[in-house]
């Protein structure tokens, strides 16, 4: 409330000075000062979603205001004090769409829509076990692990009724961008994770992260489900590799998929699917092994990984590289992290890297440019997902 | 047991009320009856004196309104933190002096109650029925004929089952207890004298809907899915031999309960949890102790246990649930032989050897079925005069781990052998009648659990083993004059835990995230002051408890949390217990205070947990009924009422798990 009041006072004060655009309500938020020289001018803010620990209700939203180089911690709670419980439990994905900031709060069952200008809440949409986001012109699409609700539906009070409960396959839910209401769902594979839109199709990475722990098969999924957005049906599925995680569309027909591997014999890695072949089949090729974190920037996928990933006790040496048009290029970026957790790309040279530390206490975000470390700030617990505004 | 035997025991020990209780329940007193000469009495002195006294102990049948669960007894022990997830069926574990619950061994008649799967012993499941003495040793319990495992845990809680004392050929007790949360807890106990053998049969049931209100930011919610149903059936045989005794106990426990889950932000329409767990515990446990000669005695103990758990997240009831439907079947066999030799009075040597086998079959994880064989050997030597005693112990533990898997793949590299030496030394010196001092130095070690190694998907299977070095000193003062008696204890200590494993609940209590936070140094002091008054039908007692614990993360000098207090350990905690009795009436008041804590090693305001205190009050009355017909013992009716959390405080012991507000339990008990 006080913050809102401050925001209003500032708004009034600014009007007196007859500045054309009123400053954002979050302009009063203070934080750690960092050096942002050389940051691309197109970037106003860098948002970071900290996942928090499962069951600890400590997902937090940080942002870096590029105009004055201020890194603000815990912005959601500061800008939305009326949401007493805070952002919620396990932040799992973040995306900017227009002037809206979309957050997936996995274990709260909420897709949170905020104003990207000032982080105030626009809508909180209930979605069971939501994981990741993609958009087209009309809808937001959210992957969900809640396979139990294949044929379930909401009533007018927002409660679910369930008809099929023992099907652990996941869903993609569709949310109308205008009304912020659910508008149907479609069943995909086991425990879907990443999702990307390209050319009227959605590409969904199915992990099988839970089914790998369950009888009778103890098997990961290894498919990408392709959904046609017009009919909102799964068209086909493409076999790639076990335990798929992120999907990136490079905007020219290439779809990149990362795998976490099976933590035992199959290494993590990056795969490329060609989608515009005349034959109708989708050739899959492996780009490289060892992907710990990855991010898309423009038509290029950036990856950082280590070849000692199965040795959990080792001090890892990380290699960074990028892929454009299927061509891999090493980067001169030397990252050091206790637990490398996320990657944000500001341009081809400026990177933000999240370090989860002990996964339990607040982690850090470090900025690298020219391959070298520039600064490090304190973030939240498990700094996991970046978005640019 | 003859009156003379009882008196001798009282004579040997301090003249506290507890001594009588120990005398009545301890088997060695049987031997004391035969102590006819001074020389023989001296030999027994080696055997009778525990080298150090327990840090805390309570004789439950002597408590006017005993709590229903062992966890509630331990909550009032100095230096003990009970991690309580709330509710009748909620998990309750203990940690002692900042040692994690895995370092705290819980022993029932000398046999460890263990759980190779997660090494967490849920003290909420232990009924106080049939339990006589509950004692806590912060350091090393050391007396003759212990099992080897009793030497091998950092701190230990010992539950001694009470041997039935029959006046008539049979006797029994019926108790009805019930109250808040829809709790109904009937129990029955029946004893029968069969000459050299006494039979005890008991049964107890618990049902509770477990619902209670709690504040959640600006609203009030109701804790749901915390209901429980349980049934315990037990029978025990207590046999007497000319030079010893034996015991055999068959135990069956079954329960079905919900886990209410952590309180977090959750979209409207989705419940916090629909998780259910059904479990069944069966065991057969026995012991045989024999004094073959005045200088040589043995004790043989065994246990066979068969435990089954079915855990289901019920995704059809909760759209937020991960679809787990898992079964765990754990079996264990345990055999222990303890031998005690009196080499030259008062010098004795004990050799204890234990062998244990655990097997776990489950459809969780990769369906690996771990097997563990543990050998524990302890060599102990003691010199025990009345005023000065010293004991040294060397414990060796070796554990062979392996597992079977449908497709014997690379996983079998986890077949490993782990071993450890655990030395310790204990000293006791009583320079004056009013002052006793004891001290100990000890290193202990705990094996990673099956969950740590094989099943913790949410956490870390590359855990290092955890070891603890402990040093402690106890100063005990005692003073009595007229109707007044005073006791005080001042216990400074230092613990160093390396590769400390911290268990953090994930979204379900059933799964844990395990974390090695390296090294923790604990400096602490326990203080206990106890004053009693006893005169003409009046008794009164006041106990003041205080613990200071500086438990610092000393893992990584360059880390951001170096030097911070570790999670959930309060720097200051304590309490006050007041008890009064007047003729057939008894009253009690207990206040437990926990100072500020943090739920993370980062001691920042975000993770600060405010101090809390709760108070419980009870009132009980005994009504003597006339003896009937040919029975020597007159039946007794006892009525009691306990109000817990009198001031209706809302608080959380574990963040995300709100505790209940004020509640009432009424009990009615008929003993014949």
Average pLDDT over residues B96-115: 87
- Could B560 and A360 be called an inter-chain contact, meaning their C-beta atoms sit closer than 8 Å? no
| Residue B278, token pair as written in the block | 């059904």
Question: Of chain B residues 487-526, which have a CB less than 8 A from chain A?
Answer: 504-508, 513, 515, 517
| pLDDT tens figures, A75-96 | 999 999 999 899 999 999 999 9
Predicted local confidence at residue B393, as pLDDT: 95
Residue B416 contacts A where some CB pair is shorter than 8 Å: no
Average pLDDT over residues B45-59: 77
Picking from A318, A336, A238, the residue whose alpha carbon sits closest to that of residue A282 is A238
| pLDDT tens figures, B406-446 | 554 444 445 678 888 999 999 999 999 999 999 999 999 88
Q: In this predicted structure, which of B164-168, B351-355, B613-617 has the lowest mean pLDDT?
A: B164-168
Among A85, A149, A264, the residue with its CB nearest the CB of B410 is A264
Contacts of A148 in chain B (CB under 8 A): 315-316, 319, 321, 323
Predicted local confidence at residue B450, as pLDDT: 79
Is the Cβ–Cβ distance between B614 and B653 less than 8 Å? no
Query: How does residue A68 score in pLDDT terms, banded at 50, 70 and 90?
Result: very high
**Which of B261, B267, B655 would best serve as a mutation to test chain A binding (most A beta carbons within 10 A)?**
B267
Predicted local confidence at residue A69, as pLDDT: 94
Predicted local confidence at residue A155, as pLDDT: 57
Residue B561 contacts A where some CB pair is shorter than 8 Å: yes
Q: In this predicted structure, which of B522-531, B560-569, B660-669 has the lowest mean pLDDT?
A: B560-569
Percentage of chain B modeled with pLDDT above 90: 56
Q: How many Cβ contacts (< 8 angstroms) between chains A and B?
A: 147
Among B269, B507, B513, the residue with its CB nearest the CB of A107 is B507
Contacts of B504 in chain A (CB under 8 A): 53, 360
Is the Cβ–Cβ distance between B267 and B243 less than 8 Å? no
Residue B627 reports pLDDT greater than 70: yes
Question: Of chain A residues 191-220, which have a CB less than 8 A from chain B?
Answer: 210, 213-215, 218
Contacts of B411 in chain A (CB under 8 A): 264
Rounded-to-integer distance, Cα B274 and Cα A271, Å: 38
Looking at residue B565, what DSSP letter applies? B
Query: How does residue A278 score in pLDDT terms, banded at 50, 70 and 90?
Result: low
Is the Cβ–Cβ distance between B2 and B33 less than 8 Å? yes
Predicted local confidence at residue B42, as pLDDT: 46
| pLDDT tens figures, A241-267 | 999 999 999 999 899 999 988 877 888
Predicted local confidence at residue B313, as pLDDT: 87
| pLDDT tens figures, B271-319 | 899 999 999 999 999 999 999 998 999 999 999 999 999 988 888 788 8
- Could A54 and B604 be called an inter-chain contact, meaning their C-beta atoms sit closer than 8 Å? no
- Could B319 and A146 be called an inter-chain contact, meaning their C-beta atoms sit closer than 8 Å? yes
Query: How does residue B349 score in pLDDT terms, banded at 50, 70 and 90?
Result: very high
Residue A165 contacts B where some CB pair is shorter than 8 Å: yes
Among A149, A313, A361, the residue with its CB nearest the CB of B600 is A361
Is the Cβ–Cβ distance between B119 and B445 less than 8 Å? no
Predicted local confidence at residue A192, as pLDDT: 95
Average pLDDT over residues B172-179: 94
Residue matched to tokens 């059809």: B316
Q: State chain B's mean pLDDT as an integer.
A: 84
Residue B327 reports pLDDT greater than 70: yes
Query: How does residue B45 score in pLDDT terms, banded at 50, 70 and 90?
Result: low
| pLDDT tens figures, A332-381 | 999 988 888 999 999 989 999 999 887 888 999 999 998 899 999 999 99
Residue A87 contacts B where some CB pair is shorter than 8 Å: yes
Residue B403 reports pLDDT greater than 50: yes
Find the closest chain A residue to B326 by CA distance.
A214
Contacts of B501 in chain A (CB under 8 A): none
Query: How does residue A8 score in pLDDT terms, banded at 50, 70 and 90?
Result: very low
Separation of CA B568 from chain center: 19
- Could A109 and B216 be called an inter-chain contact, meaning their C-beta atoms sit closer than 8 Å? no
Q: In this predicted structure, which of A348-362, B6-20, B247-261, B482-496 has the lowest mean pLDDT?
A: B6-20
Question: Of chain B residues 519-548, which have a CB less than 8 A from chain A?
Answer: none
| pLDDT tens figures, A132-157 | 999 999 999 999 987 543 344 555 55
What is the H or E stretch that residue B497 is in?
strand B484-498
Rounded-to-integer distance, Cα A146 and Cα A162, Å: 11
**Which of A55, A160, A175 would best serve as a mutation to test chain B binding (most B beta carbons within 10 A)?**
A55
Residues, chain A: 389
Predicted local confidence at residue A10, as pLDDT: 40
Among A56, A215, A359, the residue with its CB nearest the CB of B363 is A215
**Greater model confidence, A135 or B558:** A135
Residue B509 reports pLDDT greater than 70: no
- Could A110 and B505 be called an inter-chain contact, meaning their C-beta atoms sit closer than 8 Å? no
| pLDDT tens figures, B199-242 | 999 999 999 999 999 998 888 999 999 999 999 999 999 999 99
- Could B269 and A159 be called an inter-chain contact, meaning their C-beta atoms sit closer than 8 Å? yes
**Greater model confidence, B514 or A243:** A243
- Could A84 and B218 be called an inter-chain contact, meaning their C-beta atoms sit closer than 8 Å? yes
Rounded-to-integer distance, Cα B405 and Cα A227, Å: 38
Predicted local confidence at residue B101, as pLDDT: 82
Find the closest chain B residue to A86 by CA distance.
B265
Residue A378 contacts B where some CB pair is shorter than 8 Å: yes
- Could A108 and B560 be called an inter-chain contact, meaning their C-beta atoms sit closer than 8 Å? no
Among A128, A313, A362, the residue with its CB nearest the CB of B462 is A313
Predicted local confidence at residue B489, as pLDDT: 96
ipTM attached to this prediction: 0.86
Measured CA to CA in angstroms, residue A269 lies from A240, A264, B458 at distances of 11, 13, 22
3-state secondary structure labels for all residues of chain A:
CHHHHHHHHHHHHHHHCCCCCCCCHHHHCCCEECCCCCCCCCCCEEEEEECCCCCCCCCEEEEEECCCCEEECCHHHHHCCCCCCCCCCCEEEEEEECCEEEEEEHHHCEEEEEECCCCCEEEEEECCCEEEEEECCCEEEEEECCHHHCCCEECCCCCEECCCCCCCEEEEEEEECCCCCEEEEEEEEECEEEEEEECCEEEEEECCCCHHHCCCCCCCCCEEEEEECCCCEEEEEEECCCCEEEEEECCCCEEEEEECCCCCCCCCEEEEEECCCCCCCCCEEEEEECCCEEEEECCEEEEEECCCCCCCCCCCCCEEEEEECCEEEECCCCCCCCCEEEEEECCCCEEEEEECCCCCCEEEEEEEECCEEEEEEEEEECEEEEEEC
Predicted local confidence at residue B466, as pLDDT: 80
Residue A4 reports pLDDT greater than 60: no
Predicted local confidence at residue A141, as pLDDT: 98
Residue B562 contacts A where some CB pair is shorter than 8 Å: no
Rounded-to-integer distance, Cα B513 and Cα B481, Å: 54
Residue A321 reports pLDDT greater than 50: yes
Query: How does residue A20 score in pLDDT terms, banded at 50, 70 and 90?
Result: low
Q: In this predicted structure, which of A5-9, B334-338, B371-375 has the lowest mean pLDDT?
A: A5-9
Residue B329 contacts A where some CB pair is shorter than 8 Å: no
Please tell me the number of Cα atoms within 13 Å of B145 on its side-chain side: 22
pTM: 0.85
Predicted local confidence at residue B24, as pLDDT: 34
| pLDDT tens figures, A170-226 | 999 999 999 999 999 999 999 999 999 999 999 999 998 887 777 667 788 999 999
Among B265, B315, B515, the residue with its CB nearest the CB of A358 is B515
Residue matched to tokens 């659910």: A182
Predicted local confidence at residue A193, as pLDDT: 95
Rounded-to-integer distance, Cα A43 and Cα A345, Å: 11
Contacts of A218 in chain B (CB under 8 A): 366-367
Q: State chain A's mean pLDDT as an integer.
A: 86
Among A88, A210, A361, the residue with its CB nearest the CB of B323 is A210
Residue A53 contacts B where some CB pair is shorter than 8 Å: yes
Contacts of B263 in chain A (CB under 8 A): 57
Question: Of chain A residues 289-318, which have a CB less than 8 A from chain B?
Answer: 312-313
Predicted local confidence at residue B510, as pLDDT: 38
Predicted local confidence at residue A40, as pLDDT: 92
- Could B269 and A218 be called an inter-chain contact, meaning their C-beta atoms sit closer than 8 Å? no
Find the closest chain B residue to A55 by CA distance.
B507
């Amino acid at each position: 409330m006080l913050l809102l009041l401050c925001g209003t006072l500032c708004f009034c004060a600014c009007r007196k000075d007859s500045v054309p655009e009123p400053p954002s309500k979050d302009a009063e938020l203070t934080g750690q000062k960092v050096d942002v020289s050389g940051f691309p001018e197109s970037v106003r803010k860098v948002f970071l979603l900290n996942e928090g620990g499962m069951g600890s209700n400590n997902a937090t939203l940080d942002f870096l205001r590029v105009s004055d180089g201020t890194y603000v911690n815990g912005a959601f709670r500061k800008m939305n004090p009326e949401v007493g419980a805070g952002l919620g439990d396990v932040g799992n994905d973040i995306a900017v769409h227009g002037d809206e900031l979309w957050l997936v709060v996995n274990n709260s069952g909420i897709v949170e829509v905020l104003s990207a200008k000032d982080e105030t809440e626009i809508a909180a949409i209930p979605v069971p076990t939501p994981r990741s986001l993609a958009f087209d012109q009309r809808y937001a699409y959210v992957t969900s692990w809640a396979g139990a609700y294949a044929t379930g539906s909401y009533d007018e009070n927002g409660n679910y009724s369930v008809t099929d409960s023992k099907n652990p396959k996941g869903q993609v839910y569709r949310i109308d961008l205008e009304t912020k209401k659910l508008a149907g769902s479609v069943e995909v594979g086991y425990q879907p994770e990443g999702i990307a839109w390209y050319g009227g199709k959605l590409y969904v990475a199915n992990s099988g992260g839970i089914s790998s722990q369950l009888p009778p098969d103890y098997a990961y999924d290894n498919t990408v489900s392709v959904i046609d957005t017009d009919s909102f049906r799964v068209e086909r599925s493409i076999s790639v590799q076990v335990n798929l995680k992120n999907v990136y569309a490079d905007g020219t027909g290439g779809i990149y998929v990362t795998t976490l591997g099976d933590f035992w014999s199959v290494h993590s890695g990056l795969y490329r699917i060609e989608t515009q072949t005349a034959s109708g089949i989708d050739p899959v090729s492996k780009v490289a092994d060892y992907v710990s974190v990855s991010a898309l920037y423009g038509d290029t996928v950036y990856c950082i990984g280590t070849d000692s990933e199965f040795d959990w006790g080792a001090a890892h040496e990380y290699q960074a590289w990028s892929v454009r048009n299927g061509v891999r290029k090493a980067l001169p970026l030397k990252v050091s992290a206790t637990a490398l957790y996320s990657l944000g790309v500001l341009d081809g040279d400026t990177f933000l890297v999240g370090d989860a530390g002990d996964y339990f206490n607040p982690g850090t975000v470090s900025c690298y440019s020219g391959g070298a470390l520039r600064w490090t700030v304190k973030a939240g617990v498990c700094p996991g997902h970046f978005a640019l505004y | 047991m003859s009156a003379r035997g009882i008196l001798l025991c009282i004579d040997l020990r301090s003249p506290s009320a507890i001594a009588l209780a120990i005398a009545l329940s301890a088997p060695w007193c049987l031997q004391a009856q035969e102590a006819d000469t001074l020389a023989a009495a001296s030999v027994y002195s080696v055997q009778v004196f525990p080298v150090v006294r327990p840090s805390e102990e309570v004789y439950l049948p002597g408590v006017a309104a005993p709590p229903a669960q062992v966890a509630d007894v331990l909550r009032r022990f100095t230096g003990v933190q009970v991690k309580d997830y709330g509710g009748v069926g909620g998990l309750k574990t203990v940690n002692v002096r900042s040692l994690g619950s895995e370092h705290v061994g819980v022993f029932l008649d000398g046999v460890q109650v263990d759980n190779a799967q997660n090494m967490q012993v849920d003290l909420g499941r232990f009924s106080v029925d049939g339990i006589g003495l509950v004692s806590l040793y912060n350091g090393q319990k050391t007396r003759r004929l212990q099992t080897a495992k009793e030497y091998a845990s950092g701190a230990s809680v010992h539950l001694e089952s009470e041997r039935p004392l029959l006046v008539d050929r049979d006797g029994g007790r019926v108790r009805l207890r019930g109250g808040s949360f829809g709790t109904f807890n009937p129990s029955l106990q029946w004893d029968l004298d069969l000459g050299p053998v006494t039979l005890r049969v008991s049964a107890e049931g618990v049902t509770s809907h477990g619902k209670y209100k709690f504040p959640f930011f600006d609203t009030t919610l109701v804790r749901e899915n915390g209901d429980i149903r349980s049934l315990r059936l037990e029978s025990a045989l207590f046999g007497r031999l000319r030079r010893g005794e034996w015991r055999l106990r068959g135990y069956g426990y079954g329960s079905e309960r919900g886990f209410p889950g952590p309180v977090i932000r959750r979209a409207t329409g989705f419940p916090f949890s629909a998780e259910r767990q059904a479990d069944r515990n069966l065991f057969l446990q026995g012991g045989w102790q024999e004094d073959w000669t005045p200088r040589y005695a043995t004790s043989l103990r065994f246990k066979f246990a068969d435990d089954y758990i079915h855990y289901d997240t019920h995704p059809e009831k909760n759209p937020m649930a991960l679809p787990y439907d898992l079964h765990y079947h754990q079996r264990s066999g345990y055999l222990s032989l303890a031998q005690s030799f009196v080499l030259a009075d008062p010098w004795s040597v004990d050799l204890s050897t234990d062998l244990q086998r655990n097997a776990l079959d489950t459809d969780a994880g990769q369906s690996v079925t771990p097997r563990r064989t543990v050998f524990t050997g302890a060599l102990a030597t003691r010199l025990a005069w009345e005023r000065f005693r010293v004991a040294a112990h060397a414990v060796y533990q070796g554990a062979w781990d392996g597992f079977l898997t449908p497709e014997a793949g690379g996983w079998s590299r986890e077949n490993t052998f782990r071993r450890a030496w655990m030395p310790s030394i204990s000293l006791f010196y009583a320079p004056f009648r009013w002052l006793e001092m004891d001290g100990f130095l000890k290193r202990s070690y705990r094996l990673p659990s099956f969950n740590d190694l094989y099943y913790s998907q949410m956490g870390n299977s590359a855990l290092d083993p955890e070891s603890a070095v402990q040093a402690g000193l106890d100063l005990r003062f005692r003073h009595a004059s007229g109707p007044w008696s005073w006791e005080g204890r001042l216990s400074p200590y230092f613990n160093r835990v390396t590769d400390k494993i911290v268990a953090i609940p994930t979204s379900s209590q059933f799964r844990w995230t395990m974390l090695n936070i390296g090294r923790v140094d604990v400096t602490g002091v326990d203080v206990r002051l106890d004053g009693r008054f006893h005169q003409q039908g009046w008794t009164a007692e006041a106990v003041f408890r205080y613990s200071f614990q500086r438990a610092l993360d000393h893992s990584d000098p360059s880390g951001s949390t170096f030097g911070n207090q570790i999670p959930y350990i309060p720097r200051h905690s304590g309490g006050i217990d007041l008890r009064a009795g007047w003729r057939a009436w008894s009253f009690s008041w207990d206040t437990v205070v926990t100072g500020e804590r943090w739920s993370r090693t980062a001691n920042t305001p975000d993770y600060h947990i405010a101090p809390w205190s709760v108070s419980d009050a009870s009132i009980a009355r005994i009504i003597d009924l006339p003896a009937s017909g040919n029975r020597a013992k007159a039946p007794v009716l006892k009525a009691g009422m306990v109000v817990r959390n009198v001031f209706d405080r809302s608080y959380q012991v574990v963040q995300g798990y709100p505790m209940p507000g004020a509640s009432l339990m009424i009990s009615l008990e008929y003993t014949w």
